[in-house]
């Protein structure tokens, strides 16, 4: 429990359990030792400005974050994509960043699917040393093992498993945001969305799960070949599609169910 943790940038796709992980790590290490930085709310505490910062959050929303910074390692948080999109849109409506309407959801879903494809390619599929990928499903289904892996990655050689279990119990962990409970859920449109993800390595749209395609939990280098090119092509197509969709037209035709057939 002594010593400074390794400087770690947490590249997290929005709504992939970062808030939960941050609570767990704070409960285990304490605020001072963790040295957490929410860069969007407190940019002056970023690595570049505050040497006390050891664990920094980054959504990489513009996909401009370098992958080769030698002064840090990378922890990547990812989640089954459609779960993330539903949770992200729900939050965006609550904060008035998006209109709470079916047409708005359709545009959001296509736009953020393109972003998810690029984020997944950049931070999960492309080879990268000094990386640990944390799947949201693993964090909520097996929190003790997953949190222990993260703690070890941060520099503690032998995490106290009893303490880890106690932290998980105290914080409380539960899976949230069931897709079928989403107010704009419709089987036709969601089947259309699933079609874009069906060929992505690790995504099982039939089971509604994501299993990161990596044989090793740390320092994974996944060779992708043609897969990377295909992900790029699909993400560009989705980006164009989202730009072409008109909110008023979608609202007029009746939302997700009405547009699923002509877009398929």
Q: For residue 255, how far is the Cα from the chain centroid?
A: 26
Cα-Cα-Cα-Cα dihedral sign, residues 79, 80, 86, 89: positive
Strands (E), 64-202: 73-78, 131-135
Least Cα distance to 191 among 102, 103, 256 occurs for 256
pLDDT tens, 27-64?
A: 999 999 999 988 777 777 788 778 888 999 999 999 99
pLDDT tens, 116-174?
A: 999 999 999 888 888 999 999 999 999 999 999 999 999 998 899 999 999 999 998 87
The phi and psi torsions of 56 (rounded to 5 degrees) equal -120, 135
CATH class of 8-263: alpha beta
DSSP-derived 3-state class of residue 178: coil
91 within 8 A of 15, measured Cβ to Cβ = yes
d(CA 10, CA 261): 39
Least Cα distance to 164 among 181, 179, 152 occurs for 152
Global pTM reads: 0.85
């Amino acid at each position: 429990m002594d010593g400074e943790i390794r400087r770690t940038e947490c590249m997290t796709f929005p709504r992939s359990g970062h808030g939960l992980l941050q609570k767990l790590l704070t409960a285990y290490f304490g605020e001072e030792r963790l040295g957490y930085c929410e860069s969007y709310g407190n940019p002056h505490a970023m690595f570049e400005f505050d040497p006390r910062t050891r664990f920094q959050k980054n959504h990489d929303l513009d996909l401009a974050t370098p992958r080769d910074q030698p002064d840090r390692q990378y922890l990547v948080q990812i989640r089954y994509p459609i779960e993330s999109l539903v949770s992200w849109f729900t939050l965006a409506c609550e904060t008035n960043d998006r209109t709470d309407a079916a047409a708005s959801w359709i545009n959001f879903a296509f736009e953020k699917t393109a972003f998810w494809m690029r984020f997944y390619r950049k931070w999960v599929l492309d080879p990268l040393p000094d990386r640990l990928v944390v799947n949201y499903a693993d964090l909520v289904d097996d929190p003790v093992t997953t949190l222990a892996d993260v703690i070890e990655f941060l520099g503690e050689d032998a995490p106290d498993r009893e303490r880890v279990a106690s932290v998980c119990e105290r914080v409380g962990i539960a899976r949230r945001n069931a897709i079928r409970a989403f107010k704009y859920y419709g089987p036709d449109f969601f089947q259309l969305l699933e079609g874009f993800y069906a060929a992505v390595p690790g995504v099982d749209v039939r089971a509604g799960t994501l299993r990161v395609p990596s044989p090793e939990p740390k320092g994974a280098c996944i060779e992708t070949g043609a897969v990377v090119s295909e992900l790029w092509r699909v993400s560009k197509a989705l980006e164009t599609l989202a730009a072409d969709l008109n909110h008023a037209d979608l609202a007029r035709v009746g939302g997700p169910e009405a547009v699923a057939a002509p877009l398929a």
